[in-house]
Amino acid sequence: MLVRVKQDWELRERDVTPERLYLNRRRFMAGSAAALALAPGMAFAAKYDDVAPSPFSTDEKLTSFDAITRYNNFYEFGTGKEDPAKYAHNLTTEPWTISVEGECHRPGIYGLDDLLANQDLEERIYRLRCVEAWSMVIPWVGFPLADWINTFEPTGNAKYVQFDTLYRPSEMRGQKRGFIDWPYQEGLRLDEAMHPLTLIAVGLYGQTMPKQNGAPIRLVVPWKYGFKSIKSIVNVRFTETQPETAWNKENPREYGFYSNVNPDVDHPRWSQKSERRIGELRRRTTLPFNGYGEQVASLYAGMDLRKNY
């Protein structure tokens, strides 16, 4: 019999902050102008109320639902932090298909509903309360990316996995500007993707994923900077060689492929030794791997993390 010893970094069930302290659902359901400005057409059905917390969850105070959904980057809708909340309601998320390609035994075009209806995945859905580098603490809902990858059965040649965001300029107004080579692309080394902390997220705060936060399905990689956590995924590609990624192509001096949080490697235009959470006034020391070093540092044993930034 396997006996699992609870680690000192794991969240105790009694420490989970009740959702009602952070989200007054009736405030949104009342149909106020503020709610409509936040997410026009967004559904607030409590779809994931009963899922269990992840053992990797932090006990840090959550960022408010309002801040998470009003202040974020999703350049497909504009470069302003408020643009996603203003314009993402134009996005059509049903039906949604995902193309799987490359070095795997089960390529094809999959309907998202069919993928999420997989019984094994339903049983693995959990809440991951994690720190997003440099800004927020978000209670995501999702399942390990590894479970999804195993569904597609990558071949022995697969060393990386690449993801593409939806390209639909008619609904995603930011794509009409050419400051990025659309569609947005990101990638992980396969062992990073298979780590249990890497999440495919389908919701937050117990609700289905808001459009401005990457509906209907997105990646969450908590020990990396936020731009690695690609949104609104429509393509998964298994490759033998390191794939190109959007910001690395645009500005490789500032955005490396790995993009692990490393306070010892300064951004060319500013220091990364400290950070400030949204909603806080004080700055805090930036932790290596965003505080998840105990879980993920072994992935990079022997690597020069100044060179492989």
Q: Do residues 272 and 283 lie in contact, with contact meaning Cβ atoms separated by under 8 Å?
A: no
- Per-residue pLDDT of 148-197, as tens digits, reads 999 999 999 999 999 999 999 999 999 999 989 999 999 999 999 999 99
Q: Do residues 193 and 150 lie in contact, with contact meaning Cβ atoms separated by under 8 Å?
A: no
User: In the 8-state DSSP scheme, what is residue 216?
Assistant: T
Residue indicated by tokens 């969850």: 57
CB atoms within 10 A of CB 14: 5
Instruction: Give the residue among 37, 75, 116 at the shortest CA–CA distance from 214.
Output: 75
| Residue ranges per structural domain of the chain | 34-300
Q: How far apart are CA 136 and CA 163, in angstroms?
A: 23
The pLDDT, as a whole number, for residue 4 is 36
Angstrom CA distances, 94 to 46, 47, 127, 215, stand at: 18, 17, 24, 10
Which of 3.40.50.300, 3.40.50.720, 3.90.420.10, 3.40.50.2000 would CATH assign to domain 34-300? 3.90.420.10
Q: How far apart are CA 232 and CA 218, in angstroms?
A: 5
- Per-residue pLDDT of 72-102, as tens digits, reads 999 999 999 999 999 999 999 999 999 999 9
Q: Which helix (H) or strand (E) holds 132?
A: strand 126-132
Q: How far apart are CA 275 and CA 282, in angstroms?
A: 9
- Per-residue pLDDT of 204-238, as tens digits, reads 999 999 999 999 999 999 999 999 999 999 999 99
Token representation of residue 184: 């947005």
Token representation of residue 79: 């470069």
Min mean pLDDT across 25-39, 226-240, 274-288 is at 25-39
* pTM (two decimals): 0.83
